[in-house]
Structure 1
Amino acid sequence: MPASRRPLVRRWNALPALTRNAPPRVLLIVGAVVVLLGALIVSRPLTSIVLLGVYVGASAVVMGVFELFGRSTRWWARAVAVAWIVAGVAVLVWLGRSLELLPSVLAVLLVIGGLASVGRAVTGGAISVRVLSLAWGIAQIAFGVLSFTWPDVTVLVLAVVFGVRTIVFGVGVFARGVGGIRRRRPRATPFDADRAVRRRRRRARWTAVGRYALSLVLVATAAGGWWLNDWLHEGAPVVDAFYNPPAEVPSGHGRLIRSAASPWRAPQNGDVTRILYTTRDAVSRPAVASAMVITPKDPPPGPRPVIIWNHGTTGVAQGCAPSLRDSTATRWAIPALEQALKAGWVVVASDFSGQGAPGAYPYLIGKGEARSSLDAVLAAAELRSDLTLSPDTVVWGHSQGGHAALWTTAIADDYAPGIDVLGTAVVAPVADPPALARELLSGPPNAMLSVITSWVLVPYSETYADVHLDDYIAEGSRSIVLEMTQRCPTEPGVVVSVLTALGVSEDRPLYSADLTDGALGRRLEENAMTEPLGTPMLVAWGADDEVIPPKLQREYIDKLCAEGQPVRWASYAGYDHLRPILPKSRFLPVLYDWTKNLIERKPQVVDGCGLR
């Protein structure tokens, strides 16, 4: 090989230089081992993350050393070489402290590698080589930047990129070993030499075609990645300035900070106002929350009864607040809403703290949910001078909101004594979080369950000092688990969470410990609400509920009845988890009549325990 070509080839990859003069049998062994290493990195990203870190870190240092002490004197080449060395050392050093930072460092390495490839494209050489080098550089930079945008998939992307590069290198080394063993050196004739020249020219042409084709694939892949990134971000909810609390907020809880008309669809018989107000979280820290206050268009005179609506699971990110989405103040999201407004009732629907307003979200954390709901009513009382709220309040909730509704009633007397809770209606409630966790985790793992588990584990670790996230997750998966909590189930980006969960589930489970054990298990038990509330209860669920097993609802009713709690209940055949609260549900007239009779103090059947 001409001397002028050696530096260029050397810069393409420093590792081949280490094996350039090795015997053929050594090349065979090294090639096979490297191929297996690459396959392990690609197929087992979490299991091999330490191996990936050591391999990439060491490779980056070696690459930088070869570049730095090579023949090139270009300043950019030396700058890239120093960057390789620094990044490689960072990988190796941080590896011993925390794998949490490894994906970010690996993304930086992709960018550095891309810059080096772009630099090589302008230094000379065959046109096809320069085009491929430029395309490869652009692709590496693009995916390095995208890795920062979607950090939970960084481990998977980088495992594939570095793993495939490792496999390709290993195959090349192995092929060199095979070629070295099979090589014979017969005396060449002029005819053989001429044929060899033609063969090299033909191979060079096809190689150039292959480089151009690969360049097109790389550019198209990078462009597709950016297009997909834009599409996913466009579908994400936007938290507007209304939800940003001021530097100073009113003292105490349940105080109105600001209000504004909702920009979203309103019910036929009511008006919707967004409010921002003070509250407290589950451990009594000051917090801010948002809510929707839905008032009748023409309310009758006198104080108006209040319905507290507690929404079901919408995700745990700040942007997942119901008040940020259209249709969440309509009959499609709140059961019997139009009937309630016609009756002159005011409906108060909290987002809960941490949704809409910044803060920790109390997912299935009873006191945090309940305080947000009760404080929303207190703040709504300050909203209009011409509308007075009655102390008479009935609490409704669905799914996670059923859990919140139970806790709202349980703490109302102590936390907000001015609110008189007449009764509690819950649909498919999560009354016993640890029982639900045991039921769900007893079945086969799936991607959506991994996402929902993150929605429980992360808020609990942010709320309770004794619950440590790293005690329950697989090594190297922190960024994956945390990012799952930053997407709402209604936005396109949740697909990334599901695909990531699918990708790593082929390797190992994301969660390495029993979620119902240890500090998390104890805190889940604390947030179960299986005690009698002392006021009338209405419990309903779909007999075909695919989210919360109906047997848990039956067990809950049995427990309440055994403890003397009056409870009216109903199970609806053919209904799934959501159907009982949707328009035309057979449950809605029952809910409305039961609530109306409570408010008007009319006698009705409040105890269905004898019907079990």
Structure 2
Amino acid sequence: MAAVRRWSLLVVSVLAVPVGALLALRPFASLGVLVVGVVAGLVVLGAVRLVADRPAAADRDAPDAAEPPPTPPRWWWAPGCAYLAAAAVVLLWPGPTIRVLAVAVGLVLVADGVLDVLAARGARGTARAGALLSGATSVLLGALALAWPDVTVLVVAVLFGARVLLAGLRGVGAALGRGRTPRPSVADRRARPGTWRLVGQVAALVVTLALTAAGIGIERAAHEPDDFYATPADVPDAPGRLLRSAAFTSSEVPPDALAWRILYTTTRVDGSPTVASGLVLAPRTATGAAARPADVVAWAHGTTGVTPGCAPSVLPDGLAAGAMFVADDVLARGWAVVATDYAGLGTDGPHAYLVGEPAAHDVLDAVRAAHELDDVALSDRHVVWGHSQGGGAALWTGIVAPDYAPDVDLLGVAALAPASNPSALLAHLPEVSVGALFAAYLAQGYTATYPDVRLDDVVRPGARVIVREMAHRCLAERGVVVSALTALLLDQPVWAHDDPYTGAFGARLDENVPDGAIDAPLLVAQGTADSIVVASAQDAYVAARCAAGHAVDHRSYPGLDHVALVEPDSPLIPALLAWTADRFGGAPPVDGCA
């Protein structure tokens, strides 16, 4: 009988090694692969537990011990059966999802850990300590799978896969090592040193505690809008109306400037009214009884996320989070900054990420609302700047301003590494190390904005939970590290089809290329080393505008990446400030297409 047990243990342990490796190293190949891997892992763990935990006293062929072992628990078979039952649930559940996997794995890990802790009463010495450590680790891992959404897939696939892999390796070693099992039943364990096993169990518990602490810390660090951002009961239909303002203090506001949060009305892509928030920063010379009206730089920020807590006015150092690093330079010139958060950031969502017209509405209506502030004097001269996502918003602002906001005198549009072609951006994202994160924002933004674009049609089944979880993290939050790790582990794009540009999604992407006429002088600046908005795609966009008869001042900056283009030491910054001064001063623009 001992030989049968040894060979059975060797077979299931050998099977555990490739199963665990597959789960740990390629967890996102597809939902089908993940389901098969988890089911196989549960079966392997169940079999190992049943074979390894079988009490020696129940084996007639076991050699006589020097002293009889303690009475084994009646439920020694329960952990193994629990793993097998979980495998059956996952296998038989209609339409299994990652959430089903998480619940099944989480519950069985918690149950296994509880049983280990209870069984520790029948052990002594290091065996008892090891059982308690192992049980605590299992309970915490199970709780992570059940309660921490951001690492659901990591716990189910990577950590569970590693557990299966290690169990297999231990089982192989034990089966080949004179028949010793890798995990004798707790009741059979004698008070022997077991130093290395105990060290491993302590290390596993420490890692699990670190993950738990990180999860708690990340959740506490998430930023949420306060009552200022709540939509008032009575909101006028007219866009650009100031609903609420409050003084704003931040280390980003220079001592010689004042700032305010604003809440104002604007318009969604379907024409329905909504509210948005933003910031207004002005030099002190534009305030008080002797105020000198300040010319306005309307700022459209780069990507910060797609949920309300990602608004720059909510985040600490929110201007920098949206790539506005030179607000002090703007204010030092006597200009004011009006920075929209965009609707759905700060205020209730959805946020129309990389959807052009509503972003332009947000920019223009923020300017209108800022003019209603009693505490600051603003001139009627306006220039819009935007970077990345905001660069696309700036282009759209130039297109829609004459019809949507003819009362806003727009003297220039500066689009800095703009997301001028959403389709081209999407096509390049697989080449970006964390491109899946931006893909998640794009999928969330379009499916939440357009009724004819459905997440289940756009994102493959194995990535849907991942996309939803990524979309709930802001780039400026510590929790985005989890999203970044998940993005790095993805071994294929999140999209449901090899060509995601077809159907309603592709049509909506094409709608949001800002190819209309811009009456105001246009500056497009691009770093040649940009890894997100690639220079070749920007060149194609500018060439198409020139071919259509539009004027563009196109400037390229060799060696600069996406964010480096707008950092304070970038050669673009003095050129941008000078270009803006020319617009306010009425100087003729440069046409790079001529």
Q: TM-score range by the shorter chain?
A: 0.7 to 0.9
- Distance apart, 1:146 and its partner CA: 2.9
Asked whether the 8 Å contact 1:239–1:318 carries over to 2, the reply is yes
Q: Is the contact between residue 429 and residue 438 of structure 2 (CA under 8 Å) also seen in structure 1?
A: no
What is the CA deviation profile of residues 507-554 of structure 1, one whole-angstrom value per residue up to 9, with x for unaligned ones? x55445233333322211111112331322122223443432223333
1:74-127, Cα deviation, whole Å (9 max, x unpaired): 9x99999999899666544545253444224422332232222222224x2334
1:410 alignment counterpart: 399
Q: Post-superposition shift, 1:274?
A: 0.7
Deviation for aligned residue 1:313: 2.0
Which range moved further: 152-161 or 490-499? Answer: 152-161
Pair 1:45-2:27 in alignment = yes
Q: Please state whether the residue corresponding to 1:422 is helix, strand or coil.
A: strand
- Rounded to whole Å, the distance in 2 between the matches of 1:352 and 1:387 is 22
TM-score when scaled to structure 1? 0.78
Residues 21 and 358 (structure 1 numbering): CA distance in 2 closer, same or farther, change over 3 Å? farther
Q: CA deviation digits over 1:328-361, x for unaligned, max 9?
A: 5589954764564455543210111222223122
Aligned to 1:193: none
Q: 1:585 to 1:40 in 2, by over 3 A?
A: closer
Q: String of CA shifts for 1:221-257, please: whole Å, max 9, x gaps.
A: 2332234335545654454343333455444433333
- Change in 2 beyond 3 A, CA 1:145/1:177: closer
Q: d(CA) in 1 for partners of 2:478 and 2:420?
A: 30
- For 1:570, give the aligned amino acid: R
Which runs of structure 2 are paired with 1:7-406 in the superposition (5 Å)?
29-47=11-29, 48-55=33-40, 91-92=90-91, 94=93, 96-122=95-121, 124-148=122-146, 150-167=148-165, 208-233=194-219, 236-246=222-232, 249-265=235-251, 266-299=253-286, 305-328=295-318, 334=324, 337-338=327-328, 340-341=330-331, 344-384=334-374, 387=376, 389-406=378-395
Residue-by-residue CA offset, 1:381-432 (whole Å, 9 max, x unaligned):
3321x54555442221122111001111212233333223232121221212
Q: Distance in 2 between matches of 1:431 and 1:374?
A: 19
- Structure 1 distance, partners of 2:8, 2:575, is 79
Letter in 2 for 1:108: L
Partner of 1:475: 461
**8 Å contact 1:59–1:88 — kept in the other structure?**
no
CA distance in 2 between partners of 1:429 and 1:134 (Å)? 56
Kindly provide the amino acid, as one letter, of the partner of residue 306 in structure 1: V
**Structure 1: which amino acid aligns with 2:95?**
G
1:383 alignment partner, SS class = coil
Q: Which moved more, 1:155-164 or 1:535-544?
A: 155-164
Q: Alpha-carbon deviations, 1:190-234, whole Å to 9, x = none?
A: xxxxxxxxxxxxx95656434433342233223322343355456
Residues of 2 paired with 1:114 and 1:543: CA distance? Answer: 54
Q: How many residues align?
A: 561
Amino acid at match of 1:273: W
Post-superposition offset of 1:365: 1.0
Q: Who is 1:557 aligned against?
A: 542
Please state if 1:420 is matched with 2:371: no
The structural deviation recorded for 1:366 is: 0.5
Instruction: Provide closer, same or farther for how the CA distance between residues 173 and 233 of structure 1 changes in structure 2, counting only shifts above 3 A.
Output: closer
CA contact (8 A) 1:269 1:338 kept: no
- Residue by residue, what CA displacement relative to the aligned partner does 1:245-303 show, whole Å, maximum 9, x if unpaired? 34554444333332211131213442110112233333344433210011231227676
Distance 1:576 1:319 in 2: 27
Any conservation in 2 of the 1:128–1:211 contact (CA below 8 Å)? no
1:572 aligns with 557
Distance 1:576 1:446 in 2: 13
Give the SS at the match of 2:128. Answer: helix
- Residue 167 of structure 1: how far off its partner (Å): 4.5
Please say if residues 386 and 415 of structure 2, whose CA atoms lie closer than 8 Å, have aligned partners that are also in contact: yes
Deviation at 1:449, TM superposition (A): 1.6
C-alpha distance in structure 2 between counterparts of 1:463 and 1:364, whole Å: 10
Structure 1 CA distance for aligned equivalents of residues 80 and 273 of structure 2: 50
Residues 398 and 229 of structure 1: is their aligned pair in 2 closer, same or farther, counting only changes over 3 Å? same
- Alpha carbons of structure 1 residues 397 and 179: separation in structure 2 relative to 1, 3 Å: closer
Residue 161 of structure 1 deviates from its aligned partner by 4.6
AA in 2 matched with 1:46? F
Q: Which residue of 1 aligns with 2:589?
A: 605
Distance 1:378 1:453 in 2: 32
Whether 1:500 and 2:486 are equivalent positions in the alignment is: yes
- Contact 2:306 2:471 survives alignment (8 Å): yes
2: CA distance, partners of 1:332 / 1:248 = 31
| Alignment-derived partner of residue 198 in structure 1 | none
Q: Please give the alpha-carbon distance, in whole angstroms, between the structure 1 residues aligned to 2:512 and 2:528.
A: 25
Q: Distance in 1 between matches of 2:97 and 2:4?
A: 37
Q: SS of 1:324's equivalent? A: coil
Does the aligned pair in 2 maintain the 1:152–1:479 contact within 8 Å?
Answer: no
Distance 1:214 1:570, change over 3 A: closer
Q: Which moved more, 1:173-182 or 1:25-34?
A: 173-182
Q: Is the 1:107–1:154 Cα contact (8 Å) retained in structure 2?
A: no
Distance 1:361 1:494 in 2: 18
Native 8 Å contact 1:392 1:599 kept in 2? yes
- 1:155-198 per-residue CA deviation (whole Å, 9 max, x = no partner) reads 2323345435544665677678768999xxxxxxxxxxxxxxxx
CA contact (8 A) 1:392 1:420 kept: yes
Amino acid at match of 2:26: R
SS in structure 1 at match of 2:144: helix
Compare 99-108 and 324-333 and name the one that shifted more. Answer: 324-333
What is the identity percentage for the equivalent residue pairs of Structure 1 and Structure 2? 37
Structure 1 CA distance for aligned equivalents of residues 424 and 320 of structure 2: 32
Pair 1:551–1:58, CA change in 2 (3 A) = closer
The answer (yes or no) to whether the contact 2:16–2:44 under 8 Å persists in 1 is no
Q: Is the 8 A contact 2:553 2:590 kept in 1?
A: yes
When residues 135 and 340 of structure 1 are mapped into structure 2, their CA distance, relative to the original with a 3 A threshold, is closer
> Which of the residues 509, 523, 526 maps onto 1:541?
526
Residue 3 of structure 1: aligned partner? none
1:211–1:605 CA distance, 2 compared to 1 (3 A)? closer
Q: State the one-letter code of the partner of 1:436.
A: L
Partner of 1:16: none
Q: Residue 462 of structure 2 aligns to a residue in which SS?
A: coil
CA distance in 1, matches of 2:176, 2:43: 27
The answer to whether the Cα contact below 8 Å between 1:323 and 1:356 also exists between their aligned partners in 2 is yes
Deviation at 1:58, TM superposition (A): 6.8
Cα distance between partner residues in 2 of 1:330 and 1:159: 35
What TM-score does the superposition give when structure 2 sets the normalisation length? 0.80
Q: Quote the Cα distance in structure 1 between the aligned partners of 2:233 and 2:111.
A: 41
- For residues 554-601 of structure 1, the C-alpha deviation after alignment (integer angstroms, 9 at most, x for no partner) is 32322222222122232234544334433354434443343344344x
TM-superposed deviation, 1:377:
1.9
